[in-house]
Amino acid sequence: MAWLLVIVAGILETGFAVCLKLSHGFTRLWPTIAFAAFALGSFGLLTLSLRKLDVGPAYAVWTGIGATGTAIYGMIFLGDVASTLKIVSIGFVIVGIIGLQLSGSAR
């Protein structure tokens, strides 16, 4: 259950990163509100998961999911450049996330 919270928190991290860009420096109301909601949810779920998980693997998985999700979203929806190196690098991050999740120990 704790790892599921980390995964959802990572997905919410993607949401707050994208909304941060869409807010244009907090000058647009709805993306700013969405940023705050996603950030609060993401940090809240991560905090709950850390009651059961070691901080190193949990934090690394959380940031990895957020970074990967944000990069993929940017390439698909925001016109970010999609290069072979970028896609291969995202693959390495995903492999790292899986490895860290498998290595994380629950207390």
And the tokens for 12? 């919410």
CA distance 22 to 38: 13
According to the model, what pLDDT value does residue 105 have? 55
In tens, the pLDDT along 8-24 reads: 999 999 999 999 999 99
Contact indicator for 20, 36 with CB cutoff of 8 Å: no
CA distance 66 to 10: 5
CA distance 59 to 68: 14
According to the model, what pLDDT value does residue 99 have? 84
According to the model, what pLDDT value does residue 38 have? 98
CA distance 80 to 83: 10
In tens, the pLDDT along 40-72 reads: 999 999 999 999 999 988 999 999 999 999 999
Distance from the Cα of residue 103 to its chain's centroid: 19
According to the model, what pLDDT value does residue 33 have? 98
Which percentage of the chain shows pLDDT scores above 90?
86
C-alpha dist (Å) from residue 68 to 8, 9, 105 = 14, 13, 23
According to the model, what pLDDT value does residue 98 have? 85
Q: Residue 100: pLDDT band by 50, 70, 90 thresholds?
A: confident
Is residue 103 predicted with pLDDT exceeding 90? no
Q: Please provide the size of the chain in residues.
A: 107
